[in-house]
Structure 1
């Protein structure tokens, strides 16, 4: 693969230079405007691996000083050879990057279609089940793994019940402990807006109802979000439990020592994006012996977001997770796929704003049932628009 840089007064002349030097099959990798024209970087063929290496380099306008390979303005010349590629600094044209992303997506879709076609030829029943599991929202690798466990059967309804009731249910990790009954120090982590403070209030209210306010301590480390402290303070006043704000790891240590006689201490943490540069520092401040951290995940989040969140917050040992907003998620399959993939035990779920009613301990069978119910609801909606294509999906969903 030969890469060259071209400078010309305008794009038409630059493309003419590319065509002359590298032929009509050349690929434009990058283009930018200069004070005296335009600059184009082109290759005689497209090499995805090489483009990845180039894109990973630092952005810059020229070759790094000292390489002895800088190109003069105007005309065209060869860029460094393979030995110098790791030191080359340049920017891939956003349009090219978007095109590559679209091609990658298209390839994944075609591969899925080919797999389904091959599966349909081998086993029409498994192919039909695969389609239903996709409608459930499960990830492709999980679907393939579930189908591998399926026993021989010719009945679609029985196969559907086996896949959901036995194999999928068995895959969902459930936390062994009851955070309220076990007591100790429990912190809820997670991004902004996933429902940590409301979940803390539900847990606190449930605990006070069962054990009394004098055995509960409430702390918050959230000094980023406006009104966050006041929100928890209001809940605390209703429960008769004072809420203490802590601003540092040292303050947290001191506060926990003062609450050592409490049966349960709930810690509401600051909501941070999984990409926030302060996240590592915030998590480091929560590394206290005896503190059990649970990640709060919104069930209506995209699977990519769930993966990023679990990976980022998983740098701190997690005792499990809390799934919130079950009442707002149209499909639960992505969330189930994420907790299964990361082996993150589910401790409890919330499905509304009522305190403390909309809080329940997690049960794998209940989660699968909710996922099937949401699929059934979507099938009903589809049947109202296009009855015939949705009939089979609706019937199978009803067996879950």
Structure 2
């Protein structure tokens, strides 16, 4: 069997190539859409990959015996010689494709020669897409093999028939998908510049393409080569993405704030910063609770902060001890609870820490993620906690990186409000509410001034 791969613009082009190279007995084994080329994963062109095969043995058909014919009388000298096609009447026989095509078009029940397998059927499926959309596929067995059932010696629908029907279904789905999608249009250079900037910042290629489309749409009839105009349009698009996810911080009605997240993201230091901010700036009485008994010196670190701020600290080892801790701090306006950092890509650890969180209208859970982590890991952790209703983000260590695309990715993927951003180790100064305008400027940088 000979197998060959084709990468083409559309399915009809592949069908023509397969017919010319492999013949009408070829069978399409698989079709799928792929993307090639592009820059930094963007602006890739859509192509169709087609795998076709043909059985070499089936192509060597034995010659049909010629029926005996009476000898023709010699032609008179004044008549032209007989045409070559007179001796080859089979060349004048209608091609089976034409017979099947006539049956499709006219809808008649007349018998027609069997359609060739593989490519011929694929060509008919492409050319008669409306018919495929209107006719259920199981009822197309007669159209695919109209000669079956007419001769008593022939077998019913075989595996080859089922394969052809599967190919028809695949091509029908492919054509519907190609109809819905449009090829990514070429972008002006000014738009490509800001798209490239977001790609360098680590924004996912899918979101970069969406960004480019929206910027081009906002520019409208303006001069798309004007860099300042494209910069303003880019800022407007990013602001529209980030502004709805600007969190409100810790609201006055919250009494218990839980902090969860992977190891090394800075939960304990962040709790100390917020405790100082709420105590000094908002004049709220604060208490600290820690369940981080896995990490060496974790309790000592939080106890040091508690002594400096002059606030009480309770250590819990199980969910049963939380009730005792809450009762001991019943006079406090706001409680901050620290949890152990674990590998929260494992759902078992996520459910374990979730058992420590007190449900209720007066509690809130913050997922703490570090900008120094890979976005793929951040996405997995966020997806795990989203299952348990965690909907607020706190981003740390923004001062330790120059790429901030993960913020856009998290906002677009999960629509989590971002309440706070930390940018250093200083307590309580290096924490502030999330400001979309600030991070739009960091993502795009400043336009070049002539």
Q: Aligned partners of 2:414, 2:266: CA distance in 1, in Å?
A: 21
**1:275 alignment partner, SS class:** coil
Distance 2:36 2:357 in 1: 43
Instruction: Give the Cα–Cα distance (whole angstroms) in 1 for the partners of residues 386 and 349 of structure 2.
Output: 15
> Structure 2 vs 1, CA of residues 203 and 105 (structure 1 numbering), >3 Å: closer, same or farther?
farther
2:294 and 2:419 mapped to 1: Cα distance?
Answer: 27
For residues 48 and 282 of structure 1, the distance between their equivalents in structure 2, rounded to whole angstroms, comes to 46
Q: 1:194 aligns with which of 244, 265, 268?
A: 265
The equivalences for 1:67-216 within 5 A come to: 112=42, 114-115=44-45, 121=186, 123-150=188-215, 151=218, 152=220, 153=222, 154=224, 155-164=226-235, 166-172=236-242, 173-179=244-250, 181-212=252-283, 215-216=285-286
- Equivalent pairs, count: 280
Query: Structure 1 residue 231 and structure 2 residue 301: aligned?
Result: yes
2:363 alignment counterpart: 291
Instruction: Look up the match of 2:393.
Output: 321
Equivalent position of 2:165 in the other structure: none
Alpha-carbon distance in 1 for matches of 2:327, 2:259: 19
Secondary structure of the 1:309 match is helix
Segment drifting more, 200-209 vs 128-137: 128-137
Q: From the two aligned structures, give the one with the greater helix fraction.
A: 1
CA contact (8 A) 2:40 2:199 kept: no
CA contact (8 A) 1:175 1:320 kept: no
Equivalent in the alignment of 2:420: 348
Return the alpha-carbon distance in structure 1 between the equivalents of residues 302 and 30 of structure 2. Answer: 51
Q: Secondary structure at the match of 1:323?
A: strand
Does the 8 Å CA contact 1:299/1:324 hold for their aligned counterparts? Answer: yes
Q: Distance in 1 between matches of 2:327 and 2:37?
A: 56
Aligned residues: CA RMSD: 3.2
Tell me what 2:405 maps to. 333
Say if 2:336 is the partner of 1:266: yes
* Correspondence for 1:359 among 431, 434, 440: 431
The alpha-carbon distance between structure 1 residues 196 and 180, as it changes in their structure 2 partners (threshold 3 A), is farther
Q: Could you state the TM-score of these two structures normalised by the residue count of structure 1?
A: 0.62
Deviation at 1:321, TM superposition (A): 0.9
Q: Contact 1:221/1:268 (CA < 8 Å) preserved in 2?
A: yes
How far apart in 2 are the matches of 1:264 and 1:204? 9
Q: Return the alpha-carbon distance in structure 1 between the equivalents of residues 312 and 193 of structure 2.
A: 56
Work out the CA distance in 2 between the residues paired with 1:122 and 1:358.
Answer: 40
Structure 2 distance, partners of 1:158, 1:110, is 24
C-alpha deviations, 1:124-173, integer Å up to 9, x for none? 44333322221232211212222222222321222122212x11112124
Indicate the structure (1 or 2) with the bigger Cα radius of gyration.
2
Structure 2 residues without counterparts, runs of 5 or longer: 5-28, 47-182
State how far apart, in whole Å, the 1-side matches of 2:37 and 2:375 are: 20
Give the TM-score, by structure 2 length: 0.56
SS at match of 1:278: helix
